[in-house]
Amino acid sequence: MSSPALRSPSSALPEGRASFRRGLWRLADPKISLASMAGMFLGAAAAARGGALSPGWLALTVAGIFAIEVAKNASGEIFDFDSGTDRAVTPEERTPFSGGKRVLVDGLLSRGQTKAIAWTGYLLGAAAGIAIALLREPAVLVFGAAGLALAFFYHAPPLRLSYRGWGEAAVAAVYGPLIVLGTEVVQRGRVSAFAFLASIPLGLMIGAFLWVNELPDRRADASAGKRTMVVRLGARRASAVYSGIVAAAFLFQAAWPFSAGASGAVLGILGLPPAVAAAMMLGRGRAPAATARLGSAQALTLVSFLILAVAGGIGLLLA
């Protein structure tokens, strides 16, 4: 039997690399990154009404926003680990969409690696924004700075938005108006009424997605002092509010295309059926749903959001 002392140091390297790759993949979280991609698609569709798009600048916009999103997930992991939120989530409370990325809890990444990924992502996102501002459109700095600040202070002190009941509004603002309008500004140097109006139901629906994601985390969040709106309201009232958010989003989506002369964008209401199914799974506030049903409701809400963005964007292009 060989002695551990004589074992080659490189024998543990593949496992370490595999662990790092799994951790980075969790932080990138493609299924959640679809939310920002959907917003950029809608912003690009609105911009395309004014002429041909610039693929290079669109690619740099996508890369910058994606880098900040990964950075936000990484820095959030550190703050949520330190507060005890992620460690308080039990296996029974986890779903594919909630419970945190858990790269620290599961030991996939070290604290130093997670911090390095966060700083790298923020720096790359900032560099992309500065390049666009210097070489393309200075106004993008406003959108970029606001998005970066909301991403970092979503978890970080002194604002700690998600811990003080402001996280839902911050996410709705970023994934709705900020990303949609910022994408259009890069292409056109201006904000159109089409993009602004289209971003409102999109923001409401991504807010609804975060809302339903917070339901299975409510006990862990409360135990760590993370006072989300779901924690403040309780499961029954929060489930009822979810239905109200969805109703507001799709009522607005059904109305604004006709008032703005972009009737094709009404196609976005094709996203309503999955959202209705999710609301029914939550029980319309009658009782807290089981975790398995919450996971299904989360998936349906994300599908609803994506259909709203893609169908609405296609409708804008057709119009």
Per-residue pLDDT at 289: 61
Per-residue pLDDT at 285: 45
DSSP H helical ranges for the chain: 13-28, 30-48, 55-83, 85-88, 111-135, 140-153, 167-173, 179-188, 193-214, 218-223, 229-233, 235-259, 272-281, 291-318
Q: Compute CA distances 294 → 88, 200, 215, 290, whole Å.
A: 18, 25, 8, 6
Rg of the chain taking only CA atoms, in angstroms: 21
Cis status of the peptide bond prior to 91, with omega within 30 of 0: no
For the packed helices 235-259 and 193-214, what is the interaxial angle rounded to 10 degrees? 170
Residues of the chain with pLDDT under 50: 1-14, 285-286
The four Cα atoms 221, 224, 226, 232 give a dihedral, to 10 degrees, of: 70
**For 105, phi and psi rounded to 5 degrees?**
-60, -40
Nearest to 299 by CA among 43, 34, 54, 106: 34
User: What top-level class would CATH report for the domain 15-318?
Assistant: mainly alpha
Per-residue pLDDT at 10: 37
Distance of CA 92 to the CA centre of its chain: 23
Task: Spell out the residues 6+ positions from residue 71 whose beta carbon is closer than 8 angstroms to its own.
Answer: 117, 118, 119, 120, 121, 122, 124, 125, 151, 152
Per-residue pLDDT at 268: 97
What DSSP character marks residue 73?
H
Per-residue pLDDT at 293: 84
Per-residue pLDDT at 277: 96
Distance of CA 209 to the CA centre of its chain: 9
The domains of the chain are located at 15-318
